[in-house]
Amino acid sequence: MQRRIRLKKKFIFFKKKSNIFIFIIIFLIIMIILCFDYINAKVNPILLDYGEMEARKIASIIINDAIKKNVTDNIDVDELFLISYENNEVKTIDFNPITVNKILTETTLIVQNNLKYLEQGKIELLNLTNNALLDYNQDKLRQGIIYEIPMGVIFGNSFLANIGPKIPVKFSLVGDIIGYINTNVTDYGINNALIEVNIILELSEQVILPFVIEKIKIETTIPIALKLIQGSVPNYYLNGLNSPSFALPIN
């Protein structure tokens, strides 16, 4: 009889121990779910804001530097426009389509290659000036990491902003780069017009963090040429000089 009682007590003990173990597992699962909910609701938006800001910043540096080095400094403004005259007066102004297409093709291709190289960590292949990315950690860039966010920023306190582990930020180019020419024509003095020519690039990137990926769109405007038209200003411009034109996607 005593042996049966002892066996029964042991069974109850193991049963209680098993229940406690199950309770602990359920509690841990609930805590993990709550932690992920908190991260998604509170932490990820803060980290994404920092990651998006840095992705836009480095993309802007690369785009502007690449275009200045490889395109803007090599443009012959006189080849960019076709101007016709009548009685020594400007009659029409048009773009030179060959020059424009060449500029857009070179621009989008150079920018696309540079962003891909940066994404892959091949910074030695970047077609930029030597000091373009001087403020960035070169070793991290070689790992494809454009920035590291201190975990302390989630507290919103300047004293805690630089503490804790650092969250790596990467980015990936998504889809096509769209490039087109935009012009602004303004009066300049008496009977003169100033034509400002800009390249506008539109692209999409994925900001990649350990817990989340966010797709962002970036649009950059880069002035490439100024042309002063002297004399009477024509009443109209060909090919929509006052509006965006020559859209060109590059795969």
Contact status, residue 133 vs residue 141, Cβ threshold 8 Å: yes
Specify the pLDDT at position 190: 66
Give the chain's mean pLDDT.
Answer: 76
Better-predicted residue by pLDDT, 41 or 155: 155
Specify the pLDDT at position 156: 66
Domain positions in the chain: 2-250
- Torsion over CA: 157, 162, 167, 172 (sign): positive
Residue 239, CB-side half-sphere exposure with 13 Å CA sphere: 17
Give the range among 47-51, 57-61, 117-121 with minimum mean pLDDT: 47-51
Model pTM score: 0.71
Q: Rounded to an integer, what distance in angstroms lies between the CA atom of residue 194 and that of residue 187? A: 6
pLDDT above 50 (res 161): yes
Residue 107: closest CA among 172, 176, 179: 179
Specify the pLDDT at position 16: 56
Give the range among 136-140, 150-154, 204-208 with minimum mean pLDDT: 150-154
Q: Rounded to an integer, what distance in angstroms lies between the CA atom of residue 118 and that of residue 123? A: 6
* DSSP of 202-224: EEEEEEE-SS-EEEEEEEEEEEE
Contact status, residue 199 vs residue 104, Cβ threshold 8 Å: yes
